[in-house]
Amino acid sequence: MKLKGKRILVTGGAGFIGSHLVDRLVEEDAEVVAIDNLKDGDLSNLDKSKDRIEFHKVDIRDFEALKKAMDGVEVVFHLAANANVPYSVENPKYDFETNALGTFNVLKLSLDLDVEKVIYASSAAVYGEPVYVPIDERHPLNPISPYGASKLAGERSGFAYYSTYGLKFVAMRIFNTYGERQRRYVMYDFLRKLRENPKRLEVLGTGEQVRDFCYVEDCVEAFILAAEKNVAVGDVFNIAGGNPISIRDLAYLMVKILGLDGKTEVVFTGESWKGDIVNLYADISKIKSKLGFEPKVGLEEGILRLKEWFDEVYLNV
């Protein structure tokens, strides 16, 4: 499927990954409609493309508002969600209504409006604590947080709509994505803390947690491939960088990249938040072989790009 000229909806389009996807689709000469409830998304994320897209402030829980925004849409990239695990623990009702019921609304309307394909942003949280690593797509699904459960509910619904109604559906299980416009999570938190106090970096947990980071441009490329390639339909793919690193090593790497080696004391709290998974890294051989995905931006280069953006944002605050 060629995306050029297609009317494409990006839910969560003002969010971190969603806004980068919007930019890429504009570059592909697609006709882009972006929606976001702006709870976590930020319109400034769309500054690069705002004059070339159609934007609507819509909450995916609102069926009728979503129906209006989806008028004439041919392809849907569904990224709108509560993507915060601790928040899902504190507010499971909002998390379920957004991630599970909101996804139902997207799927039902996609079917009703003859959408050609839906690409769904799932999460590595659907796996829960791994039985083995690296985690491939055949790994048992046993989420341990409300967030992981609600994302899995959306994923299962999508595949049910594919099996029952023939709605073309692809699920992308995102591990840890990072880059410009990410205003939370571990790398941003490290940069913020080191900006405030370069002599001391407090790290949540033991530092033994392992993550598999994928730079946001590479993540977006995976979504584009899933939309373009018919072989992706009815299947699920991990998105990750393929280079796992412990949070301890990440902390010291970032201290080094910032030129603070030997100047910063790194301290670990010993405890993390409920629902945090210790080892979360992916086998990405399937998306490589089936869709031709290949991460291009290495971890150090990606961190430098994130730091450059962070410095610009910090100076403008």
Which residues belong to the active site? 147
Gap between the Cα atoms of 262 and 276, Å rounded: 30
How do 245-246 and 210-211 pair as beta strands?
A: antiparallel
Give the number of other CB atoms < 10 A from CB of residue 51: 8
- Whether the Cβ atoms of residue 207 and residue 246 lie closer than 8 Å to each other: yes
Q: Which DSSP helix (H) or strand (E) runs through 314?
A: helix 299-316
3-state class (DSSP) for residue 36? strand
| Dihedral sign computed on CA atoms, order 2, 151, 213, 37 | positive
Residue 26 structure tokens: 């504009």
- Whether the Cβ atoms of residue 122 and residue 154 lie closer than 8 Å to each other: yes
| Dihedral sign computed on CA atoms, order 25, 31, 36, 38 | positive
Of 172, 35, 41, nearest to 109 by C-alpha is 35
The 8 Å CB, 24+ separation contacts for 192-196 are: 192/310, 194/254, 194/255, 194/258, 194/260, 194/264, 195/310, 195/314
